[in-house]
Structure 1
Amino acid sequence: MREALSRDLEAARYAVDRAFRQYDAADPANRLVAGELEARWNRALAHAAEVEGKIAMHEAATPTPIADPASLGVLASNLKTVWDAPTTDARLKKRIVRTLIHEVVADIDDAASEIVLIIHWVGGVHSEIRLPKRRRGQRNSTSASIIEAVRQLVLIANDDLIAGLLNRNGLKTGNGHRWTRERVTSMRSNYHIPVFKPAEDGIEPWLNLSNAAKLLKIAPKTLRLAAGAGEIAAIHPLSDGPWIFARTELITTAAQSIAERARQNPRYPTKSHPNQQTLFRVSRCSMGCTNG
């Protein structure tokens, strides 16, 4: 019932605005037309007031549920999780803001060169947040390292996946926001980075670690160790992100030699036997890299 009345009120307010614009655009000298448009405007205002009255009556007749303090505490502790969840869209975030915040008052502290925000929460508590004031001509641009990482990630990943990888590595936009698919798309467009497109024939020129290892018929960890040791060329844009291999590198003599040596040692496909010569020169950091 409440949702239906809300839709009626939205339509009524739109009708009021439309009637006013028509009345405002009318020629005052044409009294007949102006009078008719003014009457329409008044009828629209009366209808909007009627719908608002129905909503007020509905809310007055609906008992307000008594919130359990313990339940409110649980909801508050989960707020950050809900807000940062990839399934939380902009519409839900707006509903959360409208539920919790009564108003935000902004002011400028010229002496400190800061923007001062006073948040008036619904419960009556006030919070102050200070943000640095952007100087004239200043722009918050995405770091060059993130741009380069995206240029490499588009070889195997779409914008949605790239956003997740950037967030997993704790990287932010130039304005300090979390990455979303829309923000990755906008950034690519600004820097003329092409979008990822699967190969029409299914033969991808670039492969992640799992698919590259499958092509060589060896364990992914074996290939990761080889890449970390420099035995085979690979791209690793993010510390907590995928390894990227060119298909052309996987058919070279070096790659085939790695695969052959790994297959000859089936019991220890990811590292050498203690009594055997090590298969790869493994650097200390390569063991902490992700599979991708």
Structure 2
Amino acid sequence: MIHWTGGRHTEVRVARVKTGRYPSDMAPSAVEALRQLGGRWPDRELAVSLNRMHCKTGDGEALTTERVRDMRERLGIPEYDPAKAGSPMISLMEAAERLGICVGSAKTLVLKGIIPATQILPGSPWMVPVEALSSEAVRIGVQGVIDRRPKYYEDYQYDKVICLPGL
């Protein structure tokens, strides 16, 4: 509803993308995405990323590790080999584990430009160079994340003890 200065009202209806939806016109084809991402990540991570980007097989099925491997072999895309990579790259999740912070905080540091990372396609994994994790800027950024934690941070970690009512 638009409220005009003169007191009139106009109703306007606009279609919008619902929260959590990936617009179908933005979704790349599975073959196109695999050609760009293949050889950089293991098949399991490729399957997760392609499903996150809503890529489907030709018959509309979700992508599994086996389907990604078969498609990669049919397209002639080499298998992921960490030894062949020029500079060792890890995913943002692995980088967060090495830095001792959560993935959300690590992504915030990437978006602020503190952790150098690249993403080939929207929805694909972030690639972080391993040597960048030891830089002074990253260390200061991680320390800032740690300093914002609650005073008794360990008390908030519920993954160590399961509290079930009635037991």
- TM (norm. structure 2) is 0.52
3-state SS in 1 of match to 2:38: helix
RMSD: 3.3
Shift in Å at residue 205 of structure 1?
Answer: 2.9
Question: More relative contact order in 1 or in 2 (CA 8 Å, sep 6+)?
Answer: 2
Native 8 Å contact 2:30 2:55 kept in 1: no
Aligned to 1:194: 78
**Residues 99-178 of structure 1 correspond to what in structure 2 (within 5 A)?**
143-152=31-40, 154=41, 158-173=42-57, 175=58, 177-178=60-61
Counterpart position of 2:127 = 244
- The whole-number CA distance in structure 2 between the counterparts of 1:146 and 1:250 is 28
Q: Deviations over 1:116-157 (max 9, x none)?
A: xxxxxxxxxxxxxxxxxxxxxxxxx965344213344x1xxx
Q: Runs of 5+ in structure 1 lacking a partner? A: 1-140, 269-292
| Superposition deviation, residue 263 in structure 1 | 3.1
Unmatched runs of 5 consecutive residues or more in structure 2: 1-28, 152-167
8 Å contact kept, 2:39–2:81: no
State the shift of 1:212 in Å.
Answer: 0.9
2:141 pairs with 1:258 = yes
Q: Which structure shows the bigger proportion of residues in strand conformation?
A: 1
CA offset at residue 186 of structure 1?
A: 3.7
| Partner Cα distance (1:194, 1:235) in 2 | 21
More helix by share: 1
Question: Do residues 228 (structure 1) and 111 (structure 2) align?
Answer: yes
**In the aligned structure 1, how far is the partner of 2:54 from the partner of 2:39?**
18
SS in 1 for 2:128: strand
Greater Rg, structure 1 or structure 2? 1
Q: How many residues align?
A: 119
Tell me the distance in 2 between the aligned counterparts of 1:219 and 1:171. 27
The answer to whether the 8 A contact 1:169-1:238 is kept is: no
Q: CA deviation at 1:171?
A: 0.7
Q: CA deviation at 1:194?
A: 3.0
8 Å contact kept, 1:150–1:162: yes
C-alpha distance in 2, partners of 1:265/1:245? Answer: 24
- The Cα shift of 1:225 comes to 0.5
The one-letter code of the counterpart of 2:104 is K
Deviations 1:258-290 (A, max 9, x none): 12333333349xxxxxxxxxxxxxxxxxxxxxx
